Amino acid sequence: MQQDQEAMSDVLPAGFRDLEKFINWSIPQMGVRQEQCAAAPYDDMSAFYDAVFPRIVEIIDYLDQFPVGALPPSAEKLANMALSLANVAIPVELYHTAEVPFCTLRERMPYLTEISGER
């Protein structure tokens, strides 16, 4: 019951609660995450990156306590946030702008969920 409540809420694991203000970046499903990350305003990406990238090693170490595919709900939330960071790092580190410059193709390039390994 407590787990259910946790799954429904925006609670991150103890030690990471200060990152809850970025909970909107906790996006399940790789395809959806790619789309939503790419569609975010650049200032949001950059604020998220600046706050969370310095913690990424700590986050990875915490999540690696659990077997893959068996994360408790709060850890799953943190994992999905960290995976968004992996996406957002591309525009922030490489392009300094939200999109691949001049690219008009992204929105026309859907992720094929049915054959991809990560739903």
Cβ proximity to other proteins, 11 vs 89, nearer residue: 89
Where on the chain is the footprint of other proteins (CB under 8 A)? Answer: 30, 33-34, 50, 53-58, 60-61, 63-64, 66, 68, 71, 79, 82-83, 85-87, 89-91, 93-96, 100-106, 108-112, 114-118
How far is Cα 79 from Cα 59, in angstroms, rounded to an integer? 8
What is the chain's Cα-based Rg?
A: 15
Q: Could you tell me how far CA 41 lies from the centroid of its own chain?
A: 15
- How far apart are CB 104 and other proteins at their closest, in Å? 7
Note whether 62 and 78 are within 8 A (CB): yes
Cβ proximity to other proteins, 4 vs 43, nearer residue: 43
How far is Cα 81 from Cα 26, in angstroms, rounded to an integer? 4
- How far apart are CB 1 and other proteins at their closest, in Å? 27
Note whether 81 and 23 are within 8 A (CB): yes
Task: Read off the tokens for 58.
Answer: 């700590």
- How far apart are CB 115 and other proteins at their closest, in Å? 5
- How far apart are CB 31 and other proteins at their closest, in Å? 9
Cβ proximity to other proteins, 14 vs 105, nearer residue: 105
